[in-house]
Amino acid sequence: MTMAVQPIDSGCARLLAGLLEQRTGQRIAPNRSWRLDTALKPLLAGLAIHDVDDLARRLREGRDEVLADKVVDLLLNQETSFFRDAGVIESAAQAVAVPLAAGMPVHIWCAACATGQEALSLAMLFAERKAAERWPRMPEIIGTDVSAAAIARARQGSYSQFEIQRGLPVRRMMEWFAPDGDGQWGATPALLNTVTYRRHNLVAEPPPAGRYDLILCRNVLFYLVPRLREQVLERLAGALKPGGLLLLGAGETVIGLSDRLRPSRRLRGFYEATGCPSTAPGGAAEVAREAQSS
């Protein structure tokens, strides 16, 4: 017997999808509104809320920020794994290998890092090369995500048996993780301490302080509403050091979205800043234009 799926009231679906879009810029396509029900099920069970429509009513009535945060966390696409697109992660590490080998400081930003697997994958590669090639230092890696829950988990560095096995070769698992006796696998302090995590909203806040040699922002633009893609790329371009590189997800591009970034001439698959001034509202170019006209 098949269970009938209770359709979500379209007004409620709009409210929930709107909350996600307002806070994070991510859009749930109308034909994927079934995701609301599946993603929010654990929250409903935990809070004894009858169904998604009931949840939407609660959000509409009250000003329960904690509940709204939890809803957004669950609706965010947090798909990630260790060494996702392994060749790409290795290229990213290789892209900054020369300055690291020379002992120069290197700053890396993993934007929208979810629960930290991407940042830790890079950290493992760097730590292994540092030991093998006697690099004088590790890069500084910062991982950010809009989800407080994801960042809390990333800071813990603790992964389920399913998570630890996705993409992570067993030899690296043995080297960098240990079972905690509770079915979870925890990153060793030596690995965990190589990454700093903080909560950060890519569409609403300026980039974390500093300029970066390498920014990874993979599989993020795809989920953003179009106008925000340009805005995010503008911010990422402004956060790159001269000569710094941006790595997007497969199928994501800057073409037609930003004149401050172009495909890298040095490294295939990466983008680099063009040096063009910002054209974003309030950006340097607009300020300069206004100054000339006044």
Partner 1 sequence: MKTCLIVDDSKVIRKVARHILETLDFAVTEAADGREALEQCRQSTPDVVLLDWNMPVMSGMEFLRALGTETLSHRPKVVFCTTENGMAHIRAAIEAGADEYVMKPFDRETLHSKLQIVGVA
Interface residues with partner 1 (CB under 8 A) are 81, 86, 161-162, 165-167, 169-171, 173-174, 178-179
Taking the least distance from each CB to partner 1, the nearer of 184 and 201 is 184
Q: How far is the CB of 167 from partner 1 (least distance, A)?
A: 5
Taking the least distance from each CB to partner 1, the nearer of 51 and 90 is 90
Exposure b/e, 16-48, CB count within 10 A at least 16 = b: bbebbbebbbbbbeeeebebbbebbeebbeeee
Q: How far is the CB of 73 from partner 1 (least distance, A)?
A: 22
Tokens of 91: 């290229």
Taking the least distance from each CB to partner 1, the nearer of 171 and 266 is 171
Contact yes or no for 81/166 (Cβ under 8 A): yes
Q: How far is the CB of 183 from partner 1 (least distance, A)?
A: 9
Taking the least distance from each CB to partner 1, the nearer of 157 and 244 is 157
Query: How far is residue 184 from each of residues 114, 117, 158, measured CA to CA in Å?
Result: 18, 14, 6
- For residue 28, give the nearest of 44, 48, 52 by alpha carbon: 52
Taking the least distance from each CB to partner 1, the nearer of 94 and 161 is 161
Helix or strand run (H / E) with residue 104:
none
Phi/psi for 284 (5° steps) reads -60, -40
Q: How far is the CB of 124 from partner 1 (least distance, A)?
A: 14
Q: How far is the CB of 19 from partner 1 (least distance, A)?
A: 29
Contact yes or no for 49/58 (Cβ under 8 A): yes
